[in-house]
Structure 1
Amino acid sequence: MKNLTVERTENYLKFSLDQRDSGRFKVNVSKNPLTLALDHTLTLDFSEGSAFLPVSEVKGREFYSLIAPDHQAVGAERRVALPSLYNCRDLGGYVTTDGRLTKWGYFYRSDAPDHLTKHDVAFLSEMALAAVVDFRSPKEIAHNPDNYFAEKRHYQFDPHAEVAKEASLMPAKGADKDQQKVAKLLELAKTKAGQQRLVEMQQQMVYQMEELVLSAAAQQAYTDFMKVLVRQEVPCLFHCQGGKDRTGWAAAIILGLLGVPEETIYQDYFLTEINNEPRNQARMAIYQQYTDNAFVLDYLASLQKTKRAYLDSAFNAMKTHYGTMEAYAKQALGMNQETIEQFKEMYLY
């Protein structure tokens, strides 16, 4: 099975084949990633591996299967094209070290679906999700509960990531809480010692990522999460608030156990920086209404960034204490070799 890359521009979907084939090909379209049952068929003209389809012809979440004379390719858009979610994306289409492909439409990592439009609720409902997993704390959930979009089950697994929680809190309705947050940081920035502390605090997320691997609470949360996937409660959408760190480590576990190379896992992690840029700019604009202090703004910006050092910290902790992702899954997440092999057969083409 080969990957069919599908990318959205303003007006078109671009389909790309690694083989750079030219010619007219039929592309089967399915709404169901579990069966790839035929919904309708497209006829696309490829030139040097690329073809285009007007976006106006795309109806909801679609999965594409192309059968060429010497190979089959399957693909979908990586980012789920919803205006009210910046960072909802599919973990399908990643090539493993043994040449297999992660299945499209089974795992969606996302920012919190707590502010959806009616259109987006309908879109997600049509995706027929079996499970939604929320990694936020009870306080975060109470502040901005998820919208319901017809998922069969909804889980809350809290890894107790206090820094991540602080980093990803959405600006509150009204200015009071954001203004109070900035005021506290400004008080700290009045002294040289406080300024140094703010610089040091920019490393908090590094330590937090280590805790997501090693703390008992985090291990329990990710154990419960993996049980959902082993039970094949898919499609599954999992999220925290911004879909960056708590969600990022969950995605790393999935991809690592499926045999996706580490550098590809990093590339997936870095997509958050691109996807969340409009959201982060809006949040920083709110903070900038209350201060222009560089120490304060640099600290607040550091919590929103997607840095290699953050994921490095998680991987380093995992390797130091367990050696490999499989050993981590066995010793910390309650899996065994048989379960891991079954996991691969479930979720790889």
Structure 2
Amino acid sequence: MTNYRILAITSGYNFRDIGGYQTKDGKTVKWRKVIRSGDLSTLSDQDLGYLKKYNITCDVDLRSNAEQTKAPDRVPDDAKQISNPVFNTGHDKSDEDYARQYSSDPNSGRNNMLSSYKYMILSRDARKAFTKLFELLLKNDQDQNVLIYHCAQGKDRTGVATFLFLYALGVDIDTIKQDYLISKKQMKPYIQKQIDFYSKFGMNDILRHNLENLYTVSLDYIDMAINTMTENYGSIDNFIHQGLGISLEQIKRLREIYLTD
């Protein structure tokens, strides 16, 4: 069966297989073992059938409790759903308040994103969520089983999670960043949808600019996470081992599960 990076999901955003990447020691990340995506709340029955055939057996939801309650995931009947919020703040504003917040300062969207990426490294709750994700990935050790993890758009919380996972597998940073940047193209339709939605509250150039920054990805964003790791832990490896508590034995086991010659 042909392997595709972008999944043929018609009623969701940013569904991607992270297989096929080469590691620094010449191995390859297995296809059809891990999917990264946006939320699953809007999936059609056709999409659910597609994911069932893909053999999705575990759905790890990185969204806040409020996001999960407002837009519950739809998953194949036999898939296990696991709530694993990276953070539980910042999702309690009304749409009108949100529009007002980003209508005056053209830097507020970008600054919000930089702060979020820094928070994901410094926050104990965020680190606990990433640790739990690693533990769930370690349990996904049956060849036929596929795990999906996601946030709202599949770009930020999911992006940092994917960075950490691929790094732990031995993929080089430049390759991981290229995977991260795929979200830039994938999110363009979503950005336009958000612009159209928030126009009912009064659209100006500042709000449009901020929405574009809030709903895209940038190397500045992921570099903020990387730099925060190195500044506070000395290296990315130290962050994974000390900040997340992932041992060398667990890294070895992850590579046994997810890499192939």
With normalisation by structure 2, the TM-score equals: 0.91
Tell me how far 1:108 sits from its aligned partner: 0.3
Q: 1:99 aligns with which of 26, 30, 40?
A: 26
- In structure 1, distance between residues paired with 2:154 and 2:147: 14
Secondary structure at the aligned position of 1:203 is classed as helix
Aligned twin of 1:9: none
Tell me how far 1:210 sits from its aligned partner: 1.2
C-alpha change, 1:256 and 1:185, in structure 2 (3 Å) is closer
Aligned twin of 1:120: 47
Instruction: Indicate conservation of the 8 Å contact 2:127/2:243, yes or no.
Output: yes
- In structure 1, distance between residues paired with 2:159 and 2:126: 13
CA offsets, 1:292-347, max 9 Å, x none?
A: 32222222222112111100001111122223333222112222111111111111
Percentage identity across paired residues of the two chains: 29
Instruction: Indicate conservation of the 8 Å contact 1:97/1:260, yes or no.
Output: yes
- In structure 2, distance between residues paired with 1:86 and 1:138: 20
For 2:24, the aligned partner's letter is: T
Q: 2:70 aligns with which of 143, 148, 157?
A: 143
C-alpha change, 1:332 and 1:274, in structure 2 (3 Å) is same
Instruction: Indicate conservation of the 8 Å contact 1:161/1:212, yes or no.
Output: no
Structure ranking higher on relative contact order (CA contacts 8 Å, 6+ apart): 2
1:1-349 correspondence to structure 2 within 5 Å: 29=1, 64=2, 76-160=3-87, 162=89, 165=91, 177-183=94-100, 185-186=102-103, 189=104, 195=105, 198-232=106-140, 234-349=145-260
Secondary structure at the aligned position of 1:108 is classed as strand
C-alpha change, 1:344 and 1:324, in structure 2 (3 Å) is farther
CA offsets, 1:56-89, max 9 Å, x none?
A: xxxxxxxx4xxxxxxxxxxx10011111122000
For 2:133, the aligned partner's letter is: F
With normalisation by structure 1, the TM-score equals: 0.69
Unpaired runs of at least 5, structure 2: none
For 2:98, the aligned partner's letter is: K
Q: How many residues align structurally? A: 257
Instruction: Indicate conservation of the 8 Å contact 1:161/1:246, yes or no.
Output: no
Secondary structure at the aligned position of 2:28 is classed as coil
Tell me how far 1:152 sits from its aligned partner: 3.4
Instruction: Indicate conservation of the 8 Å contact 1:91/1:104, yes or no.
Output: yes
Unpaired runs of at least 5, structure 1: 1-28, 30-63, 65-75, 170-176, 190-194
Bigger Rg, structure 1 or 2: 1
For 2:192, the aligned partner's letter is: Q
